[in-house]
Structure 1
């Protein structure tokens, strides 16, 4: 499980075997079943999750009962309710397993410790945060300015395996369209 994390860190920073052993000692591994909550609205969020295996979604349900998916995360991606994680408050989002999942969990205290002790780790998380902000901005702009068809085709182009793994109802929710509209787009 930690080999995937080592490869992931290696894409942005160089760590000696000793440094990686130290870094990995700050993570815990967890397994969750399909449909299980990793984080739930109203509960504390104590970890950031690196996905080793499986697929997760972060979402909220509005007052009318409609689910809005903010983020999806598959292998080699990170997911959490970052507002709750960084502010150490209760979750405003649900993070649910779309498939059986294996994750590596990093507490905020351990993240802060690693970042203060190892410049490479601070650099890694800064780069990951920046990439996350860019992806979020791109997603918001796409929801505001692109048609449903454009969003669907962009998702298929950028993440073809993700689109194949998602049930149609979740894919429709992520794209901000009805299931019927998605059926027309994918026909």
Structure 2
């Protein structure tokens, strides 16, 4: 079974014909390690579903410090959603940390697909709702948890990422220094 169909069918069921219709709205893209999928200042025309690889969505402040908003691995979605939904220039970057294979859907194709197949509207609404809840939990964690608690939560939620992502990026995601992360890492080994 196609991995996108497996992903969608965690929420809704599709017939073979319906899935072929869904798939026809996506474009396949291959990217190299360190290649940008989205760059600040450009228009982000696609929502991206990861077939293979690992990406990071990040913002660089005026001091050049990188703040990681999200990692995206297999079966996850990533985009600059403000730019995607509002036809604006991107304010974040999305970079490939590994060679990646993705499926992209434009907003126009997404809207058409949701009109053609109303259960896909439900699917996307569920994905957005789950993403919003995860973002709210992440913000609350950053505001209320100490570095140790944030690190433990990261390991609990994403156990495979700690060995896949360089520590400097995990530190940027957690909002701690590389040295602090090293201490946390050695305390939990």
The reply to whether residue 77 of structure 1 matches residue 76 of structure 2 is yes
1:111 corresponds to? 110
* 1:98-137 alignment, distance < 5 Å: 98-137=97-136
The reply to whether residue 30 of structure 1 matches residue 29 of structure 2 is yes
Paired residue secondary structure (1:95)? strand
TM-score (norm 1): 0.98
RMSD, matched Cα: 0.8
1:158 corresponds to? 157
1:86 corresponds to? 85
Shift of 1:80: 0.2
Shift of 1:162: 1.3
Distance 2:133 2:32 in 1: 30
Paired residue secondary structure (2:19)? helix
Shift of 1:159: 0.8
Instruction: Report which of the two has the higher share of helix.
Output: 1
Paired residue secondary structure (1:162)? coil
2:174 corresponds to? 175
1:55 corresponds to? 54
1:41 corresponds to? 40
How many residues are treated as equivalent by the alignment? 186
TM-score (norm 2): 0.97
Paired residue secondary structure (1:96)? strand
Shift of 1:158: 1.2
Shift of 1:54: 0.5
The reply to whether residue 146 of structure 1 matches residue 111 of structure 2 is no
Shift of 1:163: 1.7
Shift of 1:164: 1.4
1:9 corresponds to? 8
Shift of 1:174: 0.4
Shift of 1:157: 1.0
